[in-house]
Structure 1
Amino acid sequence: MEKWQNPEVIAFWIAIVIVFIITLLFFVIRILHSGYKRMTEANLKENSIRLDHQKKLIETNLHAQEKERMRIAGDLHDSLIGKLVVIRMKSQIGAAVAELDGLMEESIAEARRISHDLTPPLLEYSKIQELIEDLLNPWKQKLKIIYYTDIRTDIDLPATSKIQLIRVVQELLVNILKHAKADTVYVHLRHTEKCLTLAVKDNGCGFDTSQLKKGLGLNNQELRMQYLNASHKVKSSPGKGTTTIIATII
């Protein structure tokens, strides 16, 4: 009998093979376990970062809502209520009907403006391009606004999406008026069957985007972008104005 045919030799090599396979499986399992553990830890860390970011955005939204309530309360108190008090006083001292009628007309216009700021009229039945145009009209008293559209579809946006886009434009105009030192604003709306793109550009002082810090306004815009499932980009440099581009898939 050949030596390799000896049962003891065969058993010995079988034992070696089994030990090798077990050792190999052990290391494979260890490597897989280690990889899974690292992947799990990375996912947990990413989820934690995402949750913290969402928490900050929610806090920002709450602050923005409170700020908006205070602004509306201020408008009601300082503007509308003030006008009504004047009307009451003039009525008590017997002011002319024509004068009272003029003051009432101003009060109605102010109430309409405040109501429009809260929710644009006929929101569900108006196209987004019409709503943005209505929003821009009062701003033309303070800025030269050039508004042009490229509408290639009859598809309408949900009312919730319309109001978010309008709020974005409002915030951009407020920022331009407060910080940009601009006198001209270009607003371009492009709406096709597949996507909607909105670009707002000013000729103001611009800024270094690498130094951009996320304040209340920018965080609030980011929250609106998430709600719209949209992406946005801010392009600017000192002395060359600022352009904000928003794009979303329909």
Structure 2
Amino acid sequence: MSESDQEIVTLFVSASMLILMMVALVIVFVLSYQRRVWRQKSAMQALEAEHQLNLLSSAHKAIEATRKRIAGNLHDELGANISAAKLQLQNAKSDEASLEKANEILDESLRGLRRIVNDLLPPTLERFGLKSAISELCAQATTSELSVDLEWLGEEVDLDDSIQLPVFRIAQELLNNSLKHAQASVILFTVSTDETHLSLSYEENGVGFNVDHMVRNIGLDNMHSRAAMLHGSFQFKSAINEGFKAIVEIPLPQKEIQ
């Protein structure tokens, strides 16, 4: 091979090496750029997800605050007025039949008022905690044709209101849905808690439904959003004539070591 041919080969190899290096640099740049874009996109998605959770949390807190205010107004104003009217009727002397009927109406009004206040702001939850509140739900719903039970596994953990109230609302929504639609004869809540998480499972033997053909359900959406607000999860499954099952998993905040 002549000297000129060797120079051409050397030039060709050098050019090829230079091109390969440039291609490699372009690939590295593209990969680095894509990685940076992906990280920025992931960060934005995380911020958006956190923003959505904050909005959900604010919305639910506003709803609960409104419920508390309405419950207080009903109890303090309407309840006091009904009680005062009942006392006046008891002190009246004439037309005993009419007075007795009016007294019965007021008694029923007071019972209805207590039910409304209890639904808006369950006093058992505030005074005695989640276990007692769900137990009360079960007792109120149990009839001769429907068994509603609670199985509590492990020791009861002291929960903050910001956790136990949304979990109670989920339990309340699950039970109400079954009472309205399921035609069940057996309903079981199972709750387990430890220092790191709370798990609530729900099972009933009602008519069930086809999940694939299910239209949007506001009750299920509410339960999803309440669980998400607590950085937890809500999952369910059902089928025709196979009842309904749901499980809620909620992480609990870790206590700081003193």
Q: TM-score, normalised by structure 1?
A: 0.68
User: Partner residue of 2:6?
Assistant: none
Partner of 1:7: none
> CA contact under 8 A between 1:145 and 1:187: conserved in structure 2?
no
Moved more, 133-142 or 155-164: 133-142
Query: Unaligned regions of 5+ residues in structure 2, if any?
Result: 4-9, 253-258
- 1:102-131 deviation line (CA, Å, top 9, x unaligned): 544433332222111111115344131111
Partner of 2:28: 28
User: In the alignment, does 2:185 pair up with 1:183?
Assistant: yes
Select 2:128's aligned residue among 126, 132, 137: 126
- 1:1-250 equivalences under 5 Å are 21-34=21-34, 36-37=36-37, 39=38, 43=42, 96=96, 99=100, 101-121=103-123, 123-141=125-143, 144-250=146-252
Kept in 1: contact 2:203–2:243 (CA 8 A) = yes
Change in 2 beyond 3 A, CA 1:194/1:57: closer
Contact 2:86 2:106 in 1 (8 A): yes
Displacement after TM superposition at 1:207 (Å)? 1.2
Letter in 2 for 1:28: V
Q: Which amino acid aligns with 1:206?
A: G
> Structure 1 unaligned runs (5+)?
4-9
How many residue pairs end up in the alignment? Answer: 241
Segment drifting more, 107-116 vs 158-167? 107-116
> 2-side partners of 1:199 and 1:225: how far apart?
13
Deviations 1:66-97 (A, max 9, x none): xx89xx9xx99xxx8xx89x969978x96649
Q: Secondary structure, in 3 states, of the residue corresponding to 2:157? A: coil
1:123 aligned counterpart, secondary structure? helix
Deviations 1:40-60 (A, max 9, x none): 6964996799599879979x9
Give the superposed CA RMSD. 4.8
Q: Answer 1 or 2: higher relative contact order, Cα 8 Å, separation at least 6.
A: 1
Task: Measure, in 2, the Cα distance between the counterparts of 1:166 and 1:124.
Answer: 11
Q: CA deviation at 1:238?
A: 0.7
Mapped partners of 1:152, 1:47: distance in 2: 35
C-alpha distance in 2 between matches for 1:207 and 1:113: 30
Q: Which amino acid in the other structure matches residue 181 of structure 1?
A: Q
CA distance in 1, matches of 2:195, 2:51: 35
1:192 alignment partner AA: D
Task: Encode CA deviations 1:146-201: one digit per residue, 9 max, x unaligned.
Answer: 31323422421111222112211221122112221223322222233333222222
Alignment TM-score, normalising by the size of structure 2: 0.66
Partner Cα distance (1:249, 1:61) in 2? 18
Provide closer, same or farther for how the CA distance between residues 89 and 183 of structure 1 changes in structure 2, counting only shifts above 3 A: farther
- How many percent of aligned residue pairs carry the same amino acid? 22
Give the drift of 1:31: 4.0
Q: Is the 8 A contact 1:87 1:103 kept in 2?
A: no
Conserved in 2, the CA contact under 8 Å of 1:61 and 1:220?
no
User: Aligned letter for 1:247?
Assistant: E
Letter of the 2:249 counterpart: A
User: Per the alignment, do residues 33 and 121 of structure 1 end up closer, same or farther by CA in structure 2, a change over 3 Å counting?
Assistant: same
Paired letter, 2:214:
L
Q: How far, CA to CA, are the matches of 1:222 and 1:206 in structure 2?
A: 19
Distance 1:28 1:212, change over 3 A: same
CA–CA distance in 2 between the matches of 1:194 and 1:40?
Answer: 30
Question: How far 1:239 sits from its partner (Å)?
Answer: 0.8
Cα distance in 1 between the residues matched to 2:119 and 2:242: 31
8 Å Cα contact 2:191/2:200 also seen in 1? yes
